[in-house]
Chain A
Amino acid sequence: MTQKNRLQSGGRIDRSKPLTFTYNGKQYKGYQGDTLASAMLANGIDVIGRSFKYSRPRGIIAAGAEEPNAIMQLGATEATQVPNVRATQQELFNGLVSGATNGWPSVDTDVMGVLGKVGGNMMPPGFYYKTFMYPQSMWDTYESIIRKAAGLGRSPLENDPDMYDKVNQHCDVLVVGAGPAGLAAALTAARSGARVIIADEQSEFGGSLLSSKETLNGAPASEWVSFVVDELRGYDDVMMLPRSTVNGYHDHNFLTIHERRTDHIADRAPDGQVRQRMHRVRAKWVVLATGAHERPLVFANNDVPGCMVANAVSTYITRYGVVPGNDLVLMTTNDSGYQAALDWHDAGRRVAAVVDTRKNPSGDRVDAARKRGLNLITGSAVIEVQGSKRVSGVSVAPISADGKSVAGSVTKISADTVASSGGWSPVIHLSCHTGSRPVWNEEVVGFLPGPTVQKQLTAGAINGSYSTSKALAEGQQAALDAIAALGMKAAEVVLPQAVEVNEGQPMTLFHIPHLKSTAKAPKQFVDYQNDVTAAGIELACREGYESIEHVKRYTAMGFGTDQGKLGNINGMAVAASALNKTIPETGTTIFRPNYTPVTFGAIAGRDCGELFDPKRYTAMHKWHVENGAKFEDVGQWKRPWYFPKAGESMQDALNRECKATRESVGILDASTLGKIDIQGKDAREFLGRVYTNAWAKLAVGKCRYGLMCGEDGMVFDDGVTSCLGENHFVMTTTSGGAARVYEWLELYHQTEWPEMEVYFNTVTDHWATMTISGPNSRKLLQELTDYDVSKENLGFMDWREMQVAGVPARVFRISFTGELSFEINVQANYGLHVWEKLFEHGAKYNLTPYGTETMHILRAEKGFIIAGQDTDGSVHPYDLGMGWCVSPNKPFSFIGKRGMAREDCVRPNRKQLVGLKTLDPNVVLPEGAQGVLDPNAPIPMPMVGHITSSYWSANLGRSIAMGFVKGGLDKMGEKVFYPLADGRVIEAEICSPIFLDPKGERQNV
């Protein structure tokens, strides 16, 4: 297909580099430098989608981020699918594959067309609002209709093969936008020695100058752009980011920039390159030079393909060498709109009419139009467009001076393109992100950035300063202000001379009148993407939605990816008129991040796959992997869960591990336990205050179990703490609780008891810890040490320093299994050495490695709790039957003492931890099962507590469980019933949680 709308020369495209692209399965040609939109227009593609509610054919309206219609699905393969890409922002590359987001299977002959009308009728304005209010049961129906019709694109079904990342940046001045204002600001700041980042969403810097024929210093403006870009490139401390959208302006001058690094090159990023990068910028000062978007006018059938924003028409002609039609009608309320007609005419195509809503326009561009002999119709407006898939003509009529009514007879003019300009809307989105309310400015006929708490400056069109000379001057001034605030010395920058253009007064007009009332006239679109019409807004106002925020939610105006870039001001004007208020009285909705959609890839960065979350390993991890361990996540730790042998089920492995430990010796990697070194003359007293039990008399060389409670008296961690020296202790914590306990100690030391002489240091990672447990553990240990580890020399709850396998070690005789047990701690760099030596000597004892699951079973056989499994923040030590571990008579109070004495904590019938034996010993209760005393009670049954731990005990040949029962400690021998979801009711008897060796004879040997 030929590029029928392509000019022979002109523009910033490279005609020597033709590119092929695919749209909806058909191949087309474009050139290097095109956007997808300009290439589509060059090829005469009119319809690029169907509208959200009414399924009306839609065409390209704009040329930048404000484009509401040309939202494409991109991607040559399933894995590279990208939804919701604006064709106006997507640079063309060879082999680009695109499709319409909506209107499947064909936007031209849409089977949804008929249905769409039905859908449209089903979705009057207020659909979203009413959906939320009406019965939930209808939501499924509504949702499927909305989703089908919405054209929200689709995400890929395969993994994205590309790489995305995040980079942290810092600068003195972040300049947002590289048009004349931004470039002047960046140049001034850079020359003054500031660290500058300048970002622009377009492929090259220059902003409005790229699509303008104006001159600077008498030369094409692009020459000055090149000069500035070259100079900026020479500074080490200047970072230039084209194809980078500043999407969010957050607190403390933290901004996020979405850089598209390879989206313009190919469907996939070249090997080793990052496709998109999120810059996380902390800027001392921000200069917003974000420009302005031209407002289209609201008139009947203004969405027929061929209706465009005037400036976009200029941009396609000037920058891309594309005239998007043959016969143009321009409607404008101001002088700047004329440029489209001038450029159209100069490109050699016919301008059917220039319709100016003003009676007596005057100005340089008006004169230029007259000089070219264009058909100028003043005091009139295009009140309606004819055509369906492309404009075929327009109805023009005189309008009243206030623009509110049609004031004469209608003339029909044939044309295929209608450009409209209702003036400009400053791009204040980023300023609004900071919570700043915009302020209406009569002169500018638009909202300007309001007062801000951020270190933010603005320059150029965002301030309503639309002339190039003003933009340049304001850009420079913003940089000078920033430089002064930074305490730096400003360097001189001589700004280029721009040609001043005389402009007449614009007319304040948004909504073009029609012969019929708004409700009866053909649809007049305000927000194209969300299919919001002027009639819809009027209806919302009639239904009583007077706040602009309510109007927005009722109509969906400015929702979604569009964020009201083209439509918001027009919509507010329509609402204001309907409510008989001024625009400032009506107010405005504000914008939230992100300015344009950001891909999930860029948000996730490298925090995915293997790097999603840190995995923590012990010094013996390699051995565990080599020996077939299955792993369990404990916090971020990867702990061996169990070590299955070939052919073993999990239960088989657990049975074997449990028996081997009780019958001979097992070994557990306990390195993940939190370890905190505590030193200072007040260390002992400090322990007494944070633990519930007494520490005053713990001798050097001794270990003691402790319970830790919050202020509320509820258990939050436990562990063994050992006295290493009179002023020196090492505390152990649960694996997952280490950081929390360490912070807890520091918190109390720093805020409550700073006078205490004590220092805490985390040594969790420093020590490798291996626990050998079982009747043969002493024999095994003795083989590896010269130290006498006999009962007499190393008693239960003692620790000693000794060499184990040639490595200095601290060996603690403590037990979490109820067996004779030794916890060997060595400097972690030697952990694997000692571990392997234990296995060399342990083979004859059938030394059996076990993981967390066997550890859980063995401790449950002994009724030992696991903080976080058998506790949940609502149980105090007495609830656990662990009153023996509370010393209420310590001279100084301890954390939780008062909490556990509260009325509710001492009342009868609290849930208490007990052992539970199922009547059928082969049935293992599910953890979490809720107990009832009467299984025949009507639902909802009164529940008495849940199962916290439940296992098959191979050593006991039956199931065992621990759980809470109301008043359970006084109900020994009584029955509890556990009705399960599958209909079974399991009967269990309350018993002591110590199922095995209640006298502790096995560990005291």
Chain B
Amino acid sequence: MSDNVVVEEKPVDTVAIMNQLPGADIVGQSPLHHAELDALSKKGVRKGGVHLRENKLQAHLTLRCNPNNTEQLAAVVRVLDVALPLQPLTSVEKGDVSIRWISPDEWLIVVPGEKAFEVETRFREEMEGHHSLVNSSGGSTILELSGDNVVDMLKKSTPIDLHPKEFPVGKVVSTVFAKSSAIIRRTGDKRFELVIRRSFADYIWLWIQDASREFGLVIEA
């Protein structure tokens, strides 16, 4: 090989990412697909102290990076147009992006399901240095819980103090939920959101039905 020929080295893929979504003709089945919540919302009770809605098929992306690395933090803003919440146990929400603080170097980012690959690709372009972004969209789902008795129901399920003074809107905790776990976030005075794992979803669904029995459970589509 002569000296003046420049060999263009193809960069080795250090991390494998893939668009994991099929075409629109194939409909995904959320972890609570079998519970047929849509049908229940039509024939179930309309009044009750606890309301439940599954916010399904969202993109769940777990980001691990260094909170002291300002360049990484800036990259997040470039990709998501919102900064990571650095204060422990807090969350941010802007447009269709929400970010939950999980641990000192870990955040859960939720964006609309179809945007997962786009966000993953953008992160690869923008973020330098040691980090990881892992797609866990198929492994979890979001339950939106609201109503006059939502706190009463949650108190049966988790030892976390849910009083507004201790658990204001925006606070997020990863904690015990019955005999499983959940990422619990307060989204309103009487409104919470649970991120739960797929394999435990049926158990938590049964648990919530049971714990809501004395208040009445309304399923929302």
Contact = CB atoms under 8 A, between A and B. Distances in A.
Given A170-B161, A766-B136, A829-B138, A725 B15 contact: yes
Interface in A140-198: 163, 165-170, 195
B40 interface: no
Contact of B130 (A680, A764, A765): A680
Interface in B154-197: 155-156, 158-161, 163, 166, 178-180, 197
B198 A828 contact: yes
Contact of A765 (B139, B163, B202): B139
B13 interface: yes
A526 B28 CA distance: 72
Contacts of B28: 827, 829-830
Interface string A609-648: 0110111111101100000000000000100000000000
A768 B137 CA distance: 12
B221 interface: no
Contact of A619 (B25, B166, B178, B198): B198
B13 A700 contact: yes
B69 interface: no
B39 interface: no
Interface stretch (A47-55, A555-563, A801-809): A801-809
A728 B15 contact: yes
Contact of A273 (B26, B34, B207, B214): B214
Contacts of A169: 155
Given A725-B13, A725-B14, A272 B213 contact: yes
Nearest to A729: B16
Contacts of A791: none
Contacts of A970: none
B199 to A, nearest CB: 4
A997 interface: no
A827 B156 contact: no
Contact of B199 (A163, A166, A617, A807): A617
A274 B214 contact: yes
Contacts of B118: none
Given A167-B156, A766-B138, A677 B214 contact: no
B1 interface: no
B132 A808 contact: no
A420 interface: no
Contacts of A828: 31, 138-139, 198
Chain A interface secondary structure, helix, strand, loop or mixed? mixed
A170 B136 contact: no
A679 B15 contact: yes
Nearest to A799: B16
Contacts of A768: 138
B146 interface: no
A209 interface: no
B131 A827 contact: no
B72 interface: no
A677 B13 contact: no
A615 B200 CA distance: 7
Contacts of A845: none
B29 A827 contact: no
A934 interface: no
B161 A765 contact: no
A interface bracket (residues with beta carbon within 8 Å of B): 35 or more
A810 B135 CA distance: 14
Interface string B130-158: 11101111111000000000001001101
Interface in A765-816: 765-768, 801, 803, 806-808, 810
A877 to B, nearest CB: 30
Contacts of A168: 155-156, 158-160
Interface string B61-85: 0101000000000000000000000
Contacts of B161: 170, 282
B207 to A, nearest CB: 6
A616 B20 CA distance: 23
Interface in A270-301: 272-274, 280, 282
B188 to A, nearest CB: 17
B211 interface: yes
B57 interface: yes
Contact of A615 (B138, B152, B202): B202
B214 A679 contact: no
B21 interface: yes
Contact of A165 (B29, B156, B158, B202): B156
B140 A765 contact: yes
A761 B29 CA distance: 23
A274 B199 CA distance: 29
B136 to A, nearest CB: 5
Contacts of A401: none
A826 B166 CA distance: 40
B179 A622 contact: no
B214 A765 contact: no
Contacts of B202: 615, 617
Contacts of A759: 64, 130-132
A12 interface: no
A740 interface: no
B95 interface: no
A761 B19 contact: no
Contacts of B203: 611, 614-616
Interface string B8-25: 000011111011111101
B30 interface: yes
Nearest to B19: A808
Nearest to A808: B20
A700 B31 CA distance: 32
Contacts of B45: none
A394 interface: no
A607 interface: yes
A165 B211 CA distance: 9
Given A274-B214, A830-B29, A766 B135 contact: yes
A726 B13 contact: yes
A606 interface: yes
B139 A727 contact: no
Contact of B136 (A166, A763, A806): A763
B139 A764 contact: yes
A765 B197 contact: yes
A680 B132 contact: yes
A238 to B, nearest CB: 12
Contacts of B29: 619, 829-833
Contacts of B25: 806
B97 interface: no
A611 B197 contact: no
Most buried by A among B23, B131, B138, B207: B138
Given A621-B34, A672-B199, A766-B138, 9 more contacts: A163-B213, A614-B200, A619-B31, A637-B199, A680-B132, A726-B14, A765-B198, A766-B198, A830-B26
5 contacts: A237-B163, A700-B13, A764-B199, A765-B138, A828-B139
A-B pairs, 6 with minimum CB distance: A765-B139, A766-B139, A829-B28, A828-B138, A679-B132, A724-B16
Interface of B: 12-16, 18-23, 25-26, 28-31, 34, 57, 62, 64, 130-132, 134-140, 152, 155-156, 158-161, 163, 166, 178-180, 197-200, 202-203, 206-207, 210-211, 213-214
